[in-house]
Amino acid sequence: MAVAILLDTNAASVPIYRYLVDSGHDVTVVGNKPDNALAMSADKYVKLDYSDVEAVTALVERLGADFLIPGCNDLSYETCAAISAKRPFPGIDPVETVRVLGNKQDFRRYAEAAAIPAPRRIAEADALAAGPVIVKPAEAFSGRGVTALPAPSAADLAEAIERAKEFSRNGACLIEEFVQGQLYSHSAFLGPDGIRTDFFVEEHGSVNPFAVDTSYVVPAFDPTLASKVRAAIEKIAQDLQLTSGLIHTQFIADGERFWIIEITRRCPGDLYSQLIASSTGFNYAENYARPFLGEGFDGHAQSYRPILRHTISLREPQVFEGLRFHRPIDIEMFVSLALAGERIAASPFGRIGILFARAEDAGALDRMMRATLDGELYSVLGADRKARA
CATH of the domain at 150: 3.30.1490.20
112 domain-assigned: no
Whether residue 191 is contained in a domain is answered as: yes
What pLDDT, on the 0 to 100 scale, is given for residue 98? Answer: 96
d(CA 131, CA 95): 36
> Count of domains in the chain?
3
For residue 83, which of 52, 62, 113, 114 has the smallest C-alpha distance? 52
In this predicted structure, what is the pLDDT of residue 276? 98
Sequence letter at residue 238: Q
pLDDT of residue 233: 98
- List the Cα angle 164/168/173 in 5-degree steps: 50
Q: Which residues of 261-276 are buried (b: 16+ CB within 10 A; e: fewer)?
A: bbbbbbbbbbbbbbbb
CA atoms 259, 265, 268, 273: torsion sign: positive
Q: Quick one: pLDDT at residue 385?
A: 52
- For residue 387, the model assigns a pLDDT of 44
Sign of CA dihedral 76, 79, 81, 84: negative
Same domain, 139 and 242: no
CATH number of 254's domain: 3.30.470.20
Q: How many CA atoms lie within 13 A of 220 on its CB side?
A: 1
Claim to verify: residue 139 and residue 248 sit in the same structural domain: no
**Per-residue model confidence (pLDDT) at position 136:** 86
How much is the CA Rg of the chain, to the nearest whole Å? 21
Spatial distance between the Cα atoms of 171 and 204, rounded to a whole number of angstroms: 28
Domain that holds residue 47: 3-101
How far is 162 from 152, CA to CA, in rounded Å? 14
Q: Quick check: is 108 in a domain?
A: no
DSSP characters over 140-160 = --TTTT-EEESS--HHHHHHH
pLDDT of residue 160: 87
Question: Within 10 Å of residue 387's Cβ, how many Cβ atoms?
Answer: 10
If asked whether residues 171 and 231 sit together in one domain, one would say no
Amino acid identity at 63: L
Between the alpha carbon of residue 97 and those of residues 6, 82, 128, the distances in Å are 21, 11, 33
Q: What is the pLDDT along the chain (389 residues), one digit of tens a residue?
A: 999 999 999 999 999 999 999 999 999 999 999 999 999 999 999 999 999 999 999 999 999 999 999 999 999 999 999 999 999 999 999 999 999 998 888 999 999 999 999 999 888 888 887 788 889 887 766 678 888 888 888 888 888 888 888 888 778 888 899 899 999 999 999 999 999 999 999 999 999 888 899 999 999 999 999 999 999 999 999 999 999 999 999 999 998 899 999 999 999 999 999 999 999 999 999 999 999 999 999 988 889 999 999 999 999 999 999 999 999 999 999 999 999 999 999 998 999 999 999 999 999 999 999 999 999 999 999 976 554 43
Asked, for residue 114, whether it belongs to a domain, the answer is: no
Is residue 125 included in any domain, yes or no?
Answer: yes
Sheet holding 173-177, edge to edge: 147-149, 133-137, 173-177
327 CB neighbour count, 10 Å cutoff: 10
